């Protein structure tokens, strides 16, 4: 546990590299005890942050917060880390934001269930609740006496619930919640923008002081700007990833590349504004995305520049 706390402190204090993340993964892989210790340490960090935010609100800190001063040393002791957590939270200090999202954040690394880039996974949470996790998805379980409660930290998950009427499933995502008893639904949470699609049954989506009940083939989204209106959708297109496909209809290339980046190793970056706006219609196989860059080159005459680390520039 001491080592786990040191790892959490190092990741929060510094600017971790790919080498740091790989070293952490080797440490976690040593035994189930190592893995559990790291998750406990990361949960402690999250709890300290939540408590600090509530304390800051109670004390009416407001917007006049002082910026954090970075230590001259890369190493941060556990005492300094936890002692300064309140100030960090009050200042809105982010935990770890990897460049280009090339590796998971600390919060994602500490999830109870997590999929890597390009990985999909089925998880049975209980006898009557199961999840199918899409690529780069992190889920944490929360204690609940009235049913099952889970948090979608980031990514996309398809949920199947068949609970008795006396219980319910609650999925937290960003600042909202999805509640269901007997339903199948898909939730996507990326950059604090959430989209919930009811695939079967009915689900309730709440955000702020608003709540909307979704029926089959309806979708609703929310963000810091609020809860949007429910719209009809093609559920087969929403869940195409479960069949190993990505389906795009009248989508700008910038949006398509953003989605492909969630599955493909490295990062594709479009450097040409006109190219970003080109419209794409098509179906792509997840197991053949290594051909995507060449397809864009052929379709739109894009110039390709390959950089280290799997980064590709499209111009």
Closest CA to 117 of 266, 283, 301, 311: 266
Q: Categorize the per-residue pLDDT at 15 as very low, low, confident or very high, splitting at 50, 70 and 90.
A: low
Chain-centroid distance of CA 263 in Å reads: 13
**Which pair of tokens denotes residue 290?**
């290594």
Q: How many CB atoms lie within 10 A of CB 110?
A: 24
Kind of pairing between the strands at 182-190 and 193-201: antiparallel
pLDDT digits (tens, 9 = 90+) for 144-193: 777 789 999 999 999 999 999 999 999 999 999 999 999 999 999 999 99
pLDDT at residue 221 above 90? yes
Report d(CA 96, CA 98) in Å as an integer: 6
DSSP 271-300: --HHHHT-EEEEEEEGGGGGGHHHHHHHHH
pLDDT at residue 108 above 70? no
CB 114 within 8 A of CB 46: no
In which element (H, E) is residue 39 found? helix 32-58
pTM recorded for the entire structure: 0.70
Report d(CA 93, CA 59) in Å as an integer: 18
With tokens 């939730």, the residue in question is 187
Q: Categorize the per-residue pLDDT at 307 as very low, low, confident or very high, splitting at 50, 70 and 90.
A: confident
pLDDT of 310: 84
Q: Name which residue leads in pLDDT, 189 or 99.
A: 189
Beta-bridged to residue 177, according to DSSP, are 172, 206
Average pLDDT of the segment spanning 218-242 = 96
pLDDT at residue 85 above 50? no
pLDDT of 18: 74
pLDDT digits (tens, 9 = 90+) for 25-62: 899 899 999 988 888 777 776 655 544 444 454 444 44
pLDDT at residue 101 above 60? no
Closest CA to 188 of 199, 196, 179: 196
In which element (H, E) is residue 27 found? helix 18-28
CB 170 within 8 A of CB 179: yes
The dihedrals phi and psi of 19, each to the nearest 5 degrees, come to -65, -40
Lowest mean pLDDT across 20-34, 179-193, 246-260, 280-294: 20-34
pLDDT at residue 126 above 90? no
Catalogue all structural domains in the chain, each as residue range(s) with its CATH number.
2-100 (no CATH), 113-235 (2.60.120.1440), 244-314 (3.55.50.30)
Q: Categorize the per-residue pLDDT at 292 as very low, low, confident or very high, splitting at 50, 70 and 90.
A: very high
DSSP 197-243: EEEEE-EEEEETTEEEEE-TTEEEEEETTEE---EE--HHHHTGGGG
Task: Give the list of residues 6+ apart from residue 243 with CB closer than 8 angstroms, or none.
Answer: none
Tell me 186's DSSP state: E
pLDDT at residue 77 above 80? no
> What is the percent of the chain where pLDDT is above 70?
77
pLDDT of 197: 98
């Amino acid at each position: 546990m001491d080592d786990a706390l040191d790892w959490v402190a190092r990741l929060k204090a510094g600017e971790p590299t790919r080498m740091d993340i790989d070293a952490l993964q080797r440490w976690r892989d040593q035994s189930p005890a190592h893995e559990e210790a790291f998750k406990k340490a990361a949960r402690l960090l999250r709890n300290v942050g939540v408590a600090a935010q509530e304390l800051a609100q109670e004390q009416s800190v407001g917007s006049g917060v002082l910026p954090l001063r970075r230590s001259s040393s890369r190493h941060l002791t556990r005492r300094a880390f936890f002692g300064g957590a309140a100030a960090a939270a009050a200042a809105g200090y982010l935990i770890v934001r990897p460049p280009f999202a090339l590796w998971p954040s600390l919060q994602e690394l500490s999830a109870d269930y997590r999929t890597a880039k390009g990985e999909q996974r089925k998880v049975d949470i209980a006898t009557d609740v199961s999840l199918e996790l899409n690529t780069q998805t992190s889920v944490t379980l929360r204690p609940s006496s009235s049913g099952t409660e889970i948090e979608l930290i980031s990514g996309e998950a398809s949920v199947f619930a068949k609970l008795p009427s006396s219980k319910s499933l609650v999925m937290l995502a960003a600042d909202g919640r999805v509640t269901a008893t007997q339903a199948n639904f898909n939730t996507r949470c990326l950059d604090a923008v959430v989209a919930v699609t009811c695939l079967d049954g009915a689900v309730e989506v709440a955000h702020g002081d608003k709540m909307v009940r979704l029926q089959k083939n309806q979708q609703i989204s929310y963000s810091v700007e609020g809860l949007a209106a429910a719209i009809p959708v093609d559920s087969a297109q929403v869940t195409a990833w479960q069949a190993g496909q990505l389906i795009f209809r009248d989508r700008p290339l910038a949006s398509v590349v953003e989605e492909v980046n969630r599955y493909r190793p490295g990062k594709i970056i479009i450097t040409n504004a006109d190219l970003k706006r080109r419209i794409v219609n098509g179906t792509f196989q997840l197991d053949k995305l290594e051909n995507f860059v060449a397809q864009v080159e052929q379709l739109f005459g894009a110039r390709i520049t390959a950089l280290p680390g799997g980064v590709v520039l499209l111009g």
